[in-house]
Amino acid sequence: MLQPVRHCSLQSISNLNSHGLFCQRRQQAPEPFGTRSSTRAVTAVLVTLAYRRCHRRLSRKSGVACSGANSAACVVVSGIPGSGKSTLCRLLCGAFEDSAWFNQDNYVSSRNAKMAFLQSLKNGLQIALRQRSALVCVDKVNLQKAHRQDILKQAQDAGWMENGGILLLCELTTNDIMEHCMSRIESRGAAHKSLKPSKELKAILEQHSDNYQPPDKEELQVFQQVQIDARQEAVEKATQVVGHLRDLGWSPRLRPLEIAAVESDEWVKFPCVDEQRPTYYWNRRTGESVWHKPDNVEPAFHGFPFRDQAYFRCVRTAETMWELPPLTKVTSPALPTKLDAEEQLRFLLEAEWARLQFQEESWRHAAGTAQNAETNE
């Protein structure tokens, strides 16, 4: 079995090559790292590793992005809870290479959560500027000017605007936004980490709505603005945002079609540790472990050892987690071979949307099972 190092600081995890984390002969087949759940909050890892996570996803070589086709883009999503901000960010990051998703919900339980979130965002923006057509998604309500000013401050400190970065404020709204968001939150039930159906839900949404401050002229001198109908389907929202970014000169790189295959969710890549433990791939459905990347798949997760277990990072969204999401029970149809750019974009967005719907249904089912067990006790 793999033997993890028992004493490994969080700061040292990002540089796995500097640690001899495993002891096993190369001739033997690799074994999957333990994946037992932990009661420790994942937020602690997210806060500490946010910069390094983005660096692994985005940094390949130095250099400042210039304006035009090489510009990096930052999408600042705004809307009351339940309007679809996280879904939009997830679909966008699932479709494009060199993307990073900064979700404030991942920081709410951490110490100095606001400062941790903003510092991580600034680091991510600085990294994105070194890339060609990187994408940064900022997932926060952003309804008040003070919220947006905090983000602008990080962008200014990172040199975002002066180095040609695109800054798009995407507002999710509709005429009956309160009714729409209440219905959406109640229908998804337990499938959300921060806001669930409750007696206080209406009051919470009303407070957010009453606090809304439209962007003023000063803000609109920096932000490009687009308003998206929150009632539209998730894929249509994402397509509209991409269209606006392209109009502003953004020229993104689509992910390979293989990332959309259901089989890709089965595979976890454990990056190289040292000469004794090179990169290997573990199939969590079959338990198979191999040294070479399987054909026609793009592993959806990267695994990293941490003390006596492992944590995982989703390649598409950059989310860090202690437990992998549930697997689907079906195999995907054959991937299309001839798609133009627009068709490939839609295929990737629809695949990510289908994956999210399945995961939410699994979470609701798990929450219902747990609730029934408590009731029976």
Most confidently predicted of 47-51, 144-148, 185-189, 271-275: 144-148
Instruction: List the single range of 18-27, 70-79, 237-246, 249-258 with lowest mean pLDDT.
Output: 18-27
CA distances, 278 to each of 53, 93, 318, 342 (Å) = 20, 28, 22, 37
Q: pLDDT higher for 93 or 7?
A: 93
What is the pLDDT at residue 374? 54
Tens-digit pLDDT profile for residues 25-73: 333 444 444 443 333 434 433 443 444 444 444 433 333 334 455 689 9
Q: d(Cα 131, Cα 97) in Å, to the nearest integer?
A: 11
Structure tokens at 80: 């009351």
Number of other CB atoms surrounding residue 244 within 10 Å: 18
* Residue 369 binned pLDDT confidence (cut-offs 50, 70, 90): low
Q: d(Cα 353, Cα 242) in Å, to the nearest integer?
A: 16
**At residue 345, does pLDDT exceed 90?**
yes
Q: Provide the pairing of β-strand 99-103 with 73-78.
A: unpaired
**Closest to 270 (Cα-Cα) out of 295, 290, 254, 247:** 290
CA distances, 293 to each of 56, 120, 269 (Å) = 19, 31, 8
Domain 43-247: give its CATH architecture.
3-Layer(aba) Sandwich (3.40)
Q: d(Cα 25, Cα 276) in Å, to the nearest integer?
A: 6
Tens-digit pLDDT profile for residues 162-197: 999 999 999 999 999 999 999 988 887 766 666 778
* Buried residues in 134-171 as b, exposed as e (16+ CB within 10 A): bbbbbbbbbbeeebbebbbebbeebebeebbbbbbbbb
What is the pLDDT at residue 367? 64
CA distances, 365 to each of 162, 369, 370 (Å) = 48, 6, 9
pTM above 0.85, yes or no: no
Q: d(Cα 241, Cα 230) in Å, to the nearest integer?
A: 12
What is the pLDDT at residue 335? 79
**SS3 (DSSP) at 156:** helix
Tens-digit pLDDT profile for residues 297-322: 889 899 998 888 888 988 887 778 88
Under 8 Å between Cβ of 235 and 180: no
Number of other CB atoms surrounding residue 29 within 10 Å: 10
E strand spans, 105-203: 135-139, 166-173
Number of other CB atoms surrounding residue 22 within 10 Å: 20
What is the pLDDT at residue 12? 31
Q: Provide the pairing of β-strand 301-306 with 289-290.
A: unpaired
Count CA within 13 A, CB hemisphere, residue 342.
5
The residue type of 228 is I
Q: d(Cα 113, Cα 105) in Å, to the nearest integer?
A: 10
DSSP conformation letters of 236-270: HHHHHHHHHHHHTT----BPPGGGGSGGGGGEEEE
Report angle CA 79, 206, 182 to the nearest 5 degrees: 70
DSSP conformation letters of 36-94: ---SS-THHHHHHHHHHHHHHHH-SS--PPPSGGG--EEEEEE-STTSSHHHHHHHHHH
Q: Where are the domains of the chain?
A: 43-247
Q: d(Cα 352, Cα 185) in Å, to the nearest integer?
A: 20
E strand spans, the chain: 73-78, 99-103, 135-139, 166-173, 224-229, 267-270, 280-283, 289-290, 301-306, 309-314, 320-321
**At residue 126, does pLDDT exceed 70?**
yes
Under 8 Å between Cβ of 362 and 326: yes
**At residue 239, does pLDDT exceed 60?**
yes
Tens-digit pLDDT profile for residues 6-31: 233 322 323 333 333 323 333 344 44
Q: d(Cα 177, Cα 241) in Å, to the nearest integer?
A: 19
| Average pLDDT value for the chain | 78
